[in-house]
């Protein structure tokens, strides 16, 4: 039986050779490859600074600390996101205030406005599945409240809003390099991008034990450093990112055409946004049946995410209110295979199986 995975990272000789060259350099931690990767990623996003870290979770924590978050502060954040978004806010000792989802599964600005209080210090829009949040509305809300905006770009490398790359709109943006992401380093990794010199300097200190130099520590930081082997891989793949994203968009279009007329909710590109399809997420009340059927056809699927973050046991103490739109959608969403490593033939095979399930 043909096995079609949910995601397939691209691996080839150029990537392997870059990793071997970094190994042979004997410069492994925040060395020349890391510095070049930071400069190149900053240019790609359109930011002045890029600070690599060992995960996007760490990057969010670094940015929140650099923004001066303290106990008692409240941060508006969508519930419909990966739990690490919430985890970083909690580790920064702030309180996440959970916001419902809009029609594109991202933060609903109207619900965020309704939940703002005098303790609100910031908003963390998540560009989910490769889809930009409504940045015009979120920026307008942040300006009206007098708070900062920190973009969670973990799933949106290369996505854009009104022609400008996400990550360059807020005080800072954070990216992930997990293997399934549009830009990977073949392992965990993350980055903070910002135009703010002070935020950049503090993130650099905090990721390296709060150091001013080798021997002087100005504050309590942590070891959240990056390595040159992964940076070398990231540099190769960054050069290909736009082309890989265009391939994802072409595969998504194949799905769209194949599924036309089916009783299946399809992902839509927000007007003004450039979707890069980190995930291709459909929606149906028969989600579990469809997933089981596709499994029999050798097709891997996923649910991102079956338990909304405001219903996770770890934050039960916050007694978050119900979020009707989020709680509805998590019962119906299903992620189908898509990545830069998938072929058109594989996507067509998945589409045929989905159409077969619906009797088309």
Clarify whether residues 139 and 170 are in a common domain: yes
Residues 108 and 172 in one domain: yes
The CATH number linked to 216 is 3.40.640.10
* 180 and 283 co-located in one domain: no
Q: How far does the chain reach from its first CA to its final CA, in angstroms?
A: 22
Question: pLDDT (tens digit, 9 = 90+) per residue, 247-260?
Answer: 999 999 999 999 99
How far is the C-alpha of 108 from the C-alpha of 24, rounded, in Å? 49
Same domain, 332 and 193: no
Question: 33 and 104 share a domain?
Answer: yes
Of residues 63, 86, 59, the one with CA closest to residue 75: 86
- pLDDT value at 170 more than 80: yes
Residue 8 falls inside a structural domain: no
Residue 284 falls inside a structural domain: yes
**Nearest-CA neighbor of 15 among 181, 343, 241, 235?**
235
Quick one: pLDDT band at residue 47, thresholds 50, 70, 90? very high
Q: Is residue 5 part of a domain?
A: no
Residues 208 and 248 in one domain: no
With cut-offs at 50, 70 and 90, classify the pLDDT of residue 343: very high
Give the per-residue pLDDT at 2. Answer: 66
- The confidence score (pLDDT) of residue 1 equals 58
- Assess if residue 230 is contained within a domain: yes
Q: Identify whether 303 is part of a domain.
A: yes
In a domain, 315, yes or no: yes
8-34 pLDDT tens trace: 999 999 999 999 999 999 999 999 999
**Per-residue pLDDT averaged across 117-146, rounded?**
98
Distance CA 183, CA 187 (A): 11
DSSP state of 299: B
How are beta strands 164-165 and 172-176 bridged, if at all? unpaired
- What range defines the domain where residue 313 resides? 241-357
Report yes or no on 2 lying in a domain. no
The whole-number pLDDT of residue 360 equals 74
> For the whole model, what pTM was predicted?
0.97
Q: Tell me the pLDDT tens digit for each residue of 139-154.
A: 999 999 999 999 999 9
Is the CB of residue 41 less than 8 Å from the CB of residue 191? yes
User: Which neighbouring-strand residues pair with 75?
Assistant: 96, 122
Q: Which two tokens stand for residue 312?
A: 């996770």
Assign residue 337 the CATH number of its domain: 3.90.1150.10
DSSP notation for 16-52? HHHHHHHHHHT--BS-HHHHHHHHHHHHHHT-SEEEE
Asked if residue 113 belongs to a domain, the reply is yes
Out of 235, 258, 293, a domain closes at 235
> How many residues in total does the chain contain?
360
User: 164 with 299, same domain?
Assistant: no
Preceding peptide of 359 cis, ω within 30°: no
Q: Is residue 277 domain-shared with residue 144, that is, in the same domain?
A: no
- Please compute the mean of the pLDDT values over residues 335-356 and round it to a whole number: 98
Find, among 121, 65, 126, 53, the residue nearest to 91 by Cα: 65
Choose the final residue of a domain: 235, 258, 282. 235
The residue from 181, 215, 235 where one domain ends is 235
**Chain centroid to CA 25:** 31
- For residue 248, the number of C-alpha atoms closer than 13 Å in the C-beta half-sphere is 35
Do residues 96 and 156 share a domain? yes
Same-domain pairing of 69 and 207: yes
C-alpha distances in Å from residue 124, one per residue of 97, 121, 149, 157, 281: 10, 10, 6, 17, 22
Query: 74 pLDDT exceeds 90?
Result: yes
Q: Is the pLDDT of residue 123 over 70?
A: yes
Summarize pLDDT for 188-237 with one digit per residue, the tens: 999 999 999 999 999 999 999 999 999 999 999 999 999 999 999 999 99
Number of domains within the chain: 2
């Amino acid at each position: 039986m043909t096995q079609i995975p949910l995601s397939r990272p691209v691996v080839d000789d150029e990537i392997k050779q870059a990793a071997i060259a970094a190994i042979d350099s004997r410069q492994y931690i925040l060395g020349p490859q890391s510095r070049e990767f930071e400069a190149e990623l900053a240019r790609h996003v359109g930011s002045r600074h890029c600070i690599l870290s060992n995960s996007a979770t760490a990057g969010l924590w670094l940015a929140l600390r650099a923004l001066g978050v303290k106990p008692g502060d409240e941060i508006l954040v969508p519930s419909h996101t990966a739990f690490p978004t919430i985890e970083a806010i909690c580790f920064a000792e702030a309180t996440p205030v959970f916001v419902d989802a809009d029609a594109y599964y991202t933060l609903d600005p109207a619900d965020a406005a309704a939940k703002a209080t005098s303790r609100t210090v910031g908003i963390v829009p998540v560009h989910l599945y490769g889809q930009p949040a409504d940045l015009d509305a979120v920026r307008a809300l942040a300006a009206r409240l007098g708070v900062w905006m920190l973009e969670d770009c973990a799933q949106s490398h290369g996505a854009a809003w009104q022609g400008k790359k996400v990550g360059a709109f807020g005080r800072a943006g954070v990216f992930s390099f997990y293997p399934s992401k549009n830009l990977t380093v073949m392992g965990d990794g993350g980055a903070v991008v910002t135009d703010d010199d002070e935020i950049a300097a503090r993130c650099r200190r905090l990721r390296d034990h709060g150091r001013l130099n080798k021997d002087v520590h100005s504050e309590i930081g942590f070891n959240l450093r990056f390595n040159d082997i992964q940076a070398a891989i990231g540099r190769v793949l960054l050069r290909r990112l736009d082309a890989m994203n265009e391939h994802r968009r072409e595969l998504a279009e194949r799905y769209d055409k194949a599924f036309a007329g089916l009783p299946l909710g399809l992902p839509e590109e927000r007007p003004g946004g450039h979707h890069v399809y980190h995930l291709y997420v459909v929606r149906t009340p028969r989600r579990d049946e469809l997933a089981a059927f596709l499994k029999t056809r050798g097709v891997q699927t996923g649910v991102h995410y079956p338990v909304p973050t405001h219903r996770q046991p770890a934050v039960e103490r916050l007694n978050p209110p119900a979020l009707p739109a989020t709680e509805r959608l998590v019962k119906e969403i299903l992620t189908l295979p898509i990545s830069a490593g998938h072929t058109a033939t594989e996507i067509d095979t998945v589409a045929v199986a989905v159409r077969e399930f619906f009797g088309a």
